[in-house]
Amino acid sequence: MLTGRDILTTRQFTREELSAILGTAEGFESALRERKALKNLENLVVASLFFEPSTRTRLSFETAALRLSGRVVSVSEAGGSSMAKGESLADTIRTVDGYADIIVVRHPQKGAAQAAADNASHPVINAGDGTGQHPTQALLDLYTILKEKGRLSGLTLTLLGDLKNGRTVHSLSYLMALYGNRMILVSPPSLAMPPEIVAEARAAGTEVVEIPDVEAAVAESDIIYVTRVQRERFADPAEYESVKGSYVVDMRLIARAKPGVTVMHPLPRVDEIATEVDEYEGAAYFRQAHNGLPVRMALLALVSGRI
Amino acid sequence: MLTGRDILTTRQFTREELSAILGTAEGFESALRERKALKNLENLVVASLFFEPSTRTRLSFETAALRLSGRVVSVSEAGGSSMAKGESLADTIRTVDGYADIIVVRHPQKGAAQAAADNASHPVINAGDGTGQHPTQALLDLYTILKEKGRLSGLTLTLLGDLKNGRTVHSLSYLMALYGNRMILVSPPSLAMPPEIVAEARAAGTEVVEIPDVEAAVAESDIIYVTRVQRERFADPAEYESVKGSYVVDMRLIARAKPGVTVMHPLPRVDEIATEVDEYEGAAYFRQAHNGLPVRMALLALVSGRI
Amino acid sequence: MLTGRDILTTRQFTREELSAILGTAEGFESALRERKALKNLENLVVASLFFEPSTRTRLSFETAALRLSGRVVSVSEAGGSSMAKGESLADTIRTVDGYADIIVVRHPQKGAAQAAADNASHPVINAGDGTGQHPTQALLDLYTILKEKGRLSGLTLTLLGDLKNGRTVHSLSYLMALYGNRMILVSPPSLAMPPEIVAEARAAGTEVVEIPDVEAAVAESDIIYVTRVQRERFADPAEYESVKGSYVVDMRLIARAKPGVTVMHPLPRVDEIATEVDEYEGAAYFRQAHNGLPVRMALLALVSGRI
């Protein structure tokens, strides 16, 4: 049902399409576990165009293509590209469109993925466009919740940390509202979730509460989704110093959380989750990263029409 | 007929060899359109060594190898290479020659491709060596003219812009003279075609005229081949300012050109062709870029002897 | 016998395991010569993670994987990696471990390969970790001696140049002692072989002698293993100036050496071997580099259990 389509934003999908993506990803995850040879992208070339570095996402997409027997040409970093010579993204994409069957694009500028899609006859998949969208991250988050919790609705989810700048939590908020869940927002005041995102979730019928106290929030949460609070986001260094310790997840916090709480993080993690938590069975962030593989395989197979 | 040969310069080819390359490229273009699986390079490894950035050319070569079922190892940029440690190109090539079956090399220094070929037992393909040669660009230009015009002779071709520094227009001039065509040169005086290139074309029986007025030139041209006039090429900035507008192709100019005129450009294009021209059906520059794929497939298949 | 194992250090191998590696490499070298299609790594993905540049080693590993029908995802240089965002190597490896079946890692820090192995469920192969280990170089050196000399014992080997900093000569010393050989060490006093490496070789029953005079050393050597004497290793520039010429291998020195002497070098070579020596039939350093291919194919096939 997604044959020939671009994947540009989380908001483009119907629930039926989301089910198809998640179901396809589950099928591929089983196939990988059983070491089945997959041929969905046989004879197809995927152009993996990363105009800003993102090792994790790039390797995940390229592995996904290769595991489906696709072939990959790869660009990483703007430094090595024609764009350094002043060429427009539109011209670059129009050229690559003549080589490849699917184009994956990561770009530092918001709107770049849409611009790429406007200039390509082949499907374009947005692998992150600056402060814009990163739909495949949102989809692997959704897939992770489904795998970890067995369902996508009726959950209480704490979004923790920098909720202002993280495109990840914005997309996740949108998707979780779609399925009917409760959300708790915990952030420093200056890094609160933008009102329009909160309004959108509420309009979809989701209960959204802001709780300043992390311990109170996690005590009633099925999932804690952690994002990093970066020093450079604060105009006033004193504010950073006063809050930084409050948004770190460690075993002391887990001990006060609802039993079985799932801890997620889009990675890379710096120090906002203590490494001691890695051993906790509800620590899902590496499984979450690994879920990028079947989810991206699903997207590649679906847009190629080879499924 | 090119089995085991190096591809180093436009001037190495007989007309018979050029026909073989163009014919092979046409066959591959049909095969791509019909989505045929091609196995010409099966079990062969192509080393794609780009010691200076050129995304377009690198992706084109690598896609060409992959579409023929070849395998690719890739280097982009000198920064990531052993050369940063002071190794000579000769030693690098001698090493890679032990890994790969075909070596594609792009290098900032003129003569580097010949030096590479001197140190390799496997075929070396020059993907551009500084101000030296870029034979695969010249071949895709020739192929584009054949596809767009249906023939390679009896055409009037305007070469427009910087004709002094562009290796592209030098190679094209040589090839077009080989087939019997008429050439019009339009450039700022300080960026005129080098006399030896003009003399060579005339010696081959080609009529070459210099016309300062772009409109007069295009009025009688079947093809306009545009190259960029770069500010940094002028010793006197005032000269640049006085000429820059004269070498821009826009729809106003197309309206004064011979009906059906074909517009070509080696890309990347900056502002020497207005984007409004992209919609004009004679705007061939993206088709030209796409033609790099079948032409490079043809060269890889021919030098490998797998055809 | 190495199925699922990490390859981290030269010292991890028994002689039986070394024989298996060398024998497997010989088999692959024959298969390559006969152009046999090899499928050992079919449907497997190798992650080639080079967090510092090393074109030679990276291309060698990637070609090895491709020649066995493996698929490769590649990172070259720290600049393009998540590590630039402050992620730990442990987290990077844990993520990649979810994508790939084998992880090849090159890293500037000693101990990085062990750290990678500690965080991966899949086999990790050390492609060099700073001043630490570079076991695949040592194995290809051993393989080269076997191919050039027809045996691994009863040989006299001169190690020449910087014997203090070269992990290559340390590993080779260990391996040659294992097989029973005689070693001559020739180096500037300040770049002498560390006493513990000498002691280790002697404890294994190897005769080790230090000879300051290069000509005397090579007169009785079957093999000269050359490493570079770098200016920046000397605290006193005057010492460098006084010794630099003494450690250059040229045809004059070869003329005074034992007839048939084999010259080895881990490459890249700068000026410590004159290019005139390249024509000498005992100059084995490019064959040595080429031997990296079958040796790395052997390691990949053995750790994957696909042999």
Residues of A in contact with B270 (CB under 8 A): 85-87
DSSP result, A178-231:
HH--EEEEE--GGGPPPHHHHHHHHHTT-EEEE-S-HHHHHHT-SEEEE----G
Question: Would you call B213 helix, strand, or coil by DSSP?
Answer: coil
CA distances from residue B262 to B141, B177, C259 in whole angstroms, order as listed: 12, 18, 68
Mean pLDDT along residues A141-169: 95
Looking at residue A80, its pLDDT comes to: 42
Chain C interface disruption, residue of A48, A66, A291, A295, most C CBs within 10 A: A66
Å between B72 CA and nearest CA of chain C: 8
Looking at residue C86, its pLDDT comes to: 65
Mean confidence (pLDDT) of chain B: 94
Report d(CA C229, CA C210) in Å as an integer.
17
Mean confidence (pLDDT) of chain A: 93
CB-based contact C80 A289, cutoff 8 Å: no
Q: Is the pLDDT of residue A303 over 60?
A: yes
CB-based contact B289 A98, cutoff 8 Å: yes
Looking at residue C80, its pLDDT comes to: 42
CB-based contact B45 C67, cutoff 8 Å: yes
CB-based contact C270 B43, cutoff 8 Å: no
CB-based contact A95 B267, cutoff 8 Å: yes
Residues of A in contact with C43 (CB under 8 A): 35, 37, 67
Å between A34 CA and nearest CA of chain B: 26
CB-based contact C268 B82, cutoff 8 Å: yes
Å between A289 CA and nearest CA of chain C: 6
CB-based contact A55 C86, cutoff 8 Å: no
CA distances from residue B129 to B7, B77, B268, C115, C290 in whole angstroms, order as listed: 12, 14, 17, 42, 26
Regions in chain C scoring below 70 on pLDDT:
78-86
Q: Is the pLDDT of residue B80 over 60?
A: no
For residue B276, the tally of other CB atoms under 10 A from its CB is: 13
β-bridge partners, C75: C49
CATH T-level topology, domain A10-133+292-304: Rossmann fold (3.40.50)
Looking at residue A244, its pLDDT comes to: 78
Residues of A in contact with C92 (CB under 8 A): 55-56, 268
User: Of B172, B275, B290, B148, whose CA–CA distance to B222 is shortest?
Assistant: B148
Residue A43 DSSP code? T
Residue C258 DSSP code? P
CB-based contact A77 C73, cutoff 8 Å: no
Closest-CA residue in chain C for B74?
A: C59
Which residues in B have their CB inside 8 Å of a CB on A? 35, 37, 53-56, 59-60, 62-63, 66-67, 72, 74, 76-77, 267-270, 286-287, 289-290, 293
Closest-CA residue in chain A for B56?
A: A82
User: Which member of A62, A270, A286 has the closest CB to residue C98?
Assistant: A286
CB-based contact B95 C267, cutoff 8 Å: yes
Å between B62 CA and nearest CA of chain A: 7
User: Which member of B53, B268, B293 has the closest CB to residue A91?
Assistant: B268
Report d(CA B12, CA B17) in Å as an integer.
9
Question: Would you call C183 helix, strand, or coil by DSSP?
Answer: strand
Which residues in C have their CB inside 8 Å of a CB on A? 42-43, 45, 47, 71-75, 79-87, 90-92, 94-96, 98-100
User: Which member of A59, A67, A76 has the closest CB to residue C47?
Assistant: A59
Contact partners for chain B, using 3 or more CB pairs closer than 8 A, are A, C
Report d(CA B162, CA B233) in Å as an integer.
9
Residues of C in contact with B96 (CB under 8 A): 59
CB-based contact B53 A82, cutoff 8 Å: yes
Residue C155 DSSP code? -
Residues of C in contact with B79 (CB under 8 A): 53, 77
Looking at residue B137, its pLDDT comes to: 97
Report d(CA B128, CA C113) in Å as an integer.
38
pLDDT in tens, B270-301: 889 999 999 999 999 999 999 999 999 999 99
Residues of A in contact with C104 (CB under 8 A): none
Looking at residue B240, its pLDDT comes to: 84
Fold match between domain C10-133+292-304 and domain C136-288: yes
Strands, DSSP E only, in chain B? 45-50, 71-76, 102-107, 124-129, 156-160, 182-186, 207-210, 223-226, 262-264
Q: What residue ranges do the domains of chain C occupy?
A: 10-133+292-304, 136-288
Report d(CA C141, CA C162) in Å as an integer.
17
Closest-CA residue in chain A for B50?
A: A80
Question: Of A242-246, A303-307, B262-266, which gets the smallest average pLDDT?
Answer: A242-246
Q: Identify the band that residue A167 occupies on the pLDDT scale cut at 50, 70 and 90.
A: confident
The angle formed by the CA atoms of residues C165, C113 and A267, to the nearest 5 degrees, is 130
CB-based contact A95 B286, cutoff 8 Å: yes
| Strands of the B262-264 sheet, one edge to the other | B207-210, B182-186, B156-160, B223-226, B262-264
Å between A75 CA and nearest CA of chain C: 11
pLDDT in tens, C238-291: 888 888 778 899 999 999 999 999 999 999 998 899 999 999 999 999 999 999
Chain B interface disruption, residue of C66, C73, C227, most B CBs within 10 A: C66
Q: Considering the domain delimited by B136-288, tell me its CATH architecture.
A: 3-Layer(aba) Sandwich (3.40)
pLDDT in tens, A172-200: 999 999 999 999 999 999 899 999 999 99
Residues of C in contact with B101 (CB under 8 A): none
Looking at residue B270, its pLDDT comes to: 86
User: Which member of C86, C96, C98 has the closest CB to residue A268?
Assistant: C86
User: Which member of B47, B86, B87 has the closest CB to residue C59?
Assistant: B47
Report d(CA C17, CA C24) in Å as an integer.
10
pLDDT in tens, A59-115: 999 999 999 999 999 998 754 444 545 678 999 999 999 999 999 999 999 999 999
Alpha-helix runs per DSSP H in C180-231: 195-203, 214-219
